[in-house]
């Protein structure tokens, strides 16, 4: 029993599914890994990225996409990994590979940080996301690929709108600035996960 509590920092998201029986949060949070949620996220992101890639190549700026790829790798692995993902219950799983509903398969560079994101980390997230999503647009405009720029912009808007409505409203990374989970559900999850509850300064 003690061994099970220590594994995965005791986070319920990574305990056997039988531990969820009777949990009032079951079905109300995206608190267990789900392939459907992951594929939904990937499809939404591609709806923004693919038009941007096509437009950059057609405009003669395809090689600049290597800079976007390099930035994305650094952002997801190191920067976002530390400021956002290291605070997420999905990051608490034992092992070095992330199995979550968005950044599945990334190498986990950092340790799990059960405390909420700081204000500085939230500000950095906005900066990092702005660079990530804005990177291709100057090249689309320089290449006069206005139609692809519009399609990509529409894809980016759809990505954030859908994400916020269907994922952020149930995501277990509660301190993310996009998160909209009701406070009573957050409190119940923290109550069920004392490592996080303590780090959040909640009585457990």
Q: Which of 19, 39, 97, 142 binds ligand SF4 (CB under 6 A)?
A: 19
Nearest distance from C-beta of residue 117 to ligand SF4, angstroms: 10
Q: Do 126 and 177 form a contact (C-beta atoms < 8 A)? A: yes
Q: Which of 173, 190, 195, 196 binds ligand SF4 (CB under 6 A)?
A: 173
Nearest distance from C-beta of residue 51 to ligand SF4, angstroms: 23
Q: Give the whole-angstrom CA distance, residue 139 versus residue 168.
A: 30
The region of 61-69, 101-109, 113-121, 136-144 touching ligand SF4 under the rule CB under 6 A is 101-109
Q: Which of 8, 9, 12, 51 binds ligand SF4 (CB under 6 A)?
A: 12
Q: Which of 91, 135, 159, 174 binds ligand SF4 (CB under 6 A)?
A: 91
CB atoms < 10 A from the CB of 2, how many?
6
Q: Do 59 and 143 form a contact (C-beta atoms < 8 A)? A: yes
Q: Which of 8, 13, 59, 181 binds ligand SF4 (CB under 6 A)?
A: 13
Q: Give the whole-angstrom CA distance, residue 147 versus residue 111.
A: 43
* φ, ψ (nearest 5 deg) of residue 64: -70, -15
88 part of the interface to ligand SF4, by CB under 6 A: yes
Q: Do 188 and 31 form a contact (C-beta atoms < 8 A)? A: no
204 part of the interface to ligand SF4, by CB under 6 A: no
Of the candidates 62, 60, 59, the one whose C-alpha atom is nearest the C-alpha of residue 144 is: 59
9 part of the interface to ligand SF4, by CB under 6 A: no
Token code pair at residue 174: 């509660």
CB atoms < 10 A from the CB of 87, how many?
24
**Where does this chain bind ligand SF4 (CB under 6 A)?**
12-13, 19-20, 23, 25-26, 29, 31-32, 84-85, 88, 90-91, 98, 100-103, 173, 189, 192
């Amino acid at each position: 029993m003690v061994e099970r509590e220590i594994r995965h920092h005791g986070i319920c998201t990574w305990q056997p599914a039988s531990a969820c029986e009777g949990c009032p949060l079951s079905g109300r949070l995206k608190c267990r890994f789900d392939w459907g949620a992951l594929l939904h996220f990937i499809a939404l992101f591609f709806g923004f990225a693919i038009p941007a890639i096509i437009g950059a190549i057609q405009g003669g700026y395809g090689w600049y996409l290597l800079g976007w790829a390099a930035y994305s790798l650094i952002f997801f692995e190191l920067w976002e990994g530390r400021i956002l993902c290291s605070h997420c219950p999905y990051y608490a799983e034992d092992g070095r590979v992330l199995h979550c509903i968005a950044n599945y398969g990334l190498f986990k560079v950092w340790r799990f940080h059960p405390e909420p994101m700081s204000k500085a980390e939230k500000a950095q997230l906005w900066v990092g996301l702005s660079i990530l999503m804005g990177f291709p647009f100057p090249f689309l405009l320089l290449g006069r690929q206005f139609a692809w720029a519009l399609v990509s912009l529409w894809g980016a808007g759809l990505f954030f709108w859908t994400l916020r409505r269907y994922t952020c409203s149930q995501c277990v990374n509660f301190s993310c600035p996009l998160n909209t989970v009701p406070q009573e559900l957050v409190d119940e999850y923290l109550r069920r996960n004392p490592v996080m509850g303590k780090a959040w300064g909640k009585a457990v």
